[in-house]
């Protein structure tokens, strides 16, 4: 993170007590997710595109087709805003006004750079793959030279970022605690169901990989 923590762009203005600028918190939230939203502006038109990502050290990687408008635009050095949100629970208060959500989120600003070298591009794709499905990379065929040429990978330094976190029960007005209405939290989480085999899967392959059977235990 930049020295001094918050910057003008990352300073949490609304409920600042929920802001966290520590590298540990920001990395832990990024590591628990794998889907981000990438915001940028082209000729005055804003775009927000969802995409998968992976973190390695203090770098966030994301990728796509070499023909992707988003990746072509970002590779030119356009400023970008990347967000990641993990929803943990719905917070049900006694009043409509105080309903909320428990969440962990990161907002990241900067300019992404194109990953040119074959070695770093391959490693970045491994990082993204392992972030989404840990253990998968060693099972699959790795990208060919032609596939690497057809893929753009961008690297975004995690140097200007902030986290915002809400935890805990509802915070009602004091007089509302006497109301005869249920209040509390409804926990939520990503749930992985039973893997469904490809119809063309070889009949010799009968076992589902352990990393899929235990996928629901990942700390999302």
pLDDT of 55 > 90? The answer is yes
What's the whole-number mean pLDDT along residues 60-73? 88
Residue 152 lies in a domain: yes
pLDDT confidence of residue 93: 98
pLDDT confidence of residue 206: 92
Residue 202 lies in a domain: no
The number of domains in the chain is 1
pLDDT of 209 > 60? The answer is yes
What's the whole-number mean pLDDT along residues 97-105? 97
Is 71 within 8 Å of 113 (Cβ atoms)?
no
Residue 25 lies in a domain: yes
Is 186 within 8 Å of 90 (Cβ atoms)?
yes
pLDDT confidence of residue 5: 74
pLDDT confidence of residue 122: 97
pLDDT of 3 > 90? The answer is no
Q: 147 phi and psi, to 5 degrees?
A: -65, -35
Measure the CA–CA gap between 53 and 31, rounded to whole angstroms. 10
Residue 200 lies in a domain: no
Q: Output the domain CATH number for residue 164.
A: 2.30.110.10
Question: For residue 11, what pLDDT band results from cuts at 50, 70 and 90?
Answer: confident
DSSP element (H, E) containing 80: strand 79-92
Question: For residue 4, what pLDDT band results from cuts at 50, 70 and 90?
Answer: very low
Residues spanned by the domain of 74: 16-88+102-169
Query: pLDDT tens across 192-206, in order?
Result: 889 999 999 999 999
Percent of the chain scored above 90 by pLDDT?
76
Least confident of 1-5, 50-54, 216-220: 1-5
DSSP state at residue 218: S
* Sequence-ordered strand ranges (E) for 33-76: 35-42, 45-52, 54-56, 59-65
Residue 189 lies in a domain: no
Query: pLDDT tens across 154-184, in order?
Result: 999 999 999 999 999 999 999 999 999 999 9
Question: For residue 1, what pLDDT band results from cuts at 50, 70 and 90?
Answer: very low
Residue 45 lies in a domain: yes
Residue 194 lies in a domain: no
pLDDT of 2 > 60? The answer is no
Mean pLDDT score of the chain: 92
Residue 30 lies in a domain: yes
Is 83 within 8 Å of 108 (Cβ atoms)?
yes
């Amino acid at each position: 993170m930049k020295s001094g923590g918050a910057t003008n762009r990352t300073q949490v203005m609304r409920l600042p007590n929920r802001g966290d600028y520590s590298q540990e918190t920001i990395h832990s939230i990024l590591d628990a997710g794998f889907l981000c939203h990438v915001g940028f502006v082209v000729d005055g038109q804003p775009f927000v595109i969802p995409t998968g990502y992976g973190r390695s050290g203090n770098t966030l990687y994301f990728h796509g087709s070499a023909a992707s408008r988003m990746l072509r635009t970002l590779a030119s050095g356009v400023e970008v805003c990347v967000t990641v949100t993990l929803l943990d629970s719905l917070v049900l208060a006694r009043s409509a006004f105080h309903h909320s959500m428990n969440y962990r989120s990161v907002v990241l600003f900067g300019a992404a750079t194109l990953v040119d070298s074959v070695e770093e591009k391959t490693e970045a794709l491994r990082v993204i793959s392992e972030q989404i499905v840990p253990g998968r990379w060693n099972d699959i065929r790795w990208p060919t030279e032609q596939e690497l040429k057809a893929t753009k990978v961008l690297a975004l330094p995690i140097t200007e970022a902030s986290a915002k976190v809400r935890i805990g029960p509802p915070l009602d007005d004091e007089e509302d605690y006497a109301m005869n209405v249920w209040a509390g939290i409804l926990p939520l989480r990503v749930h992985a169901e039973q893997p469904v085999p490809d119809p063309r899967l070889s009949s010799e392959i009968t076992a589902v990989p352990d990393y899929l059977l235990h996928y629901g235990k990942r700390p999302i």
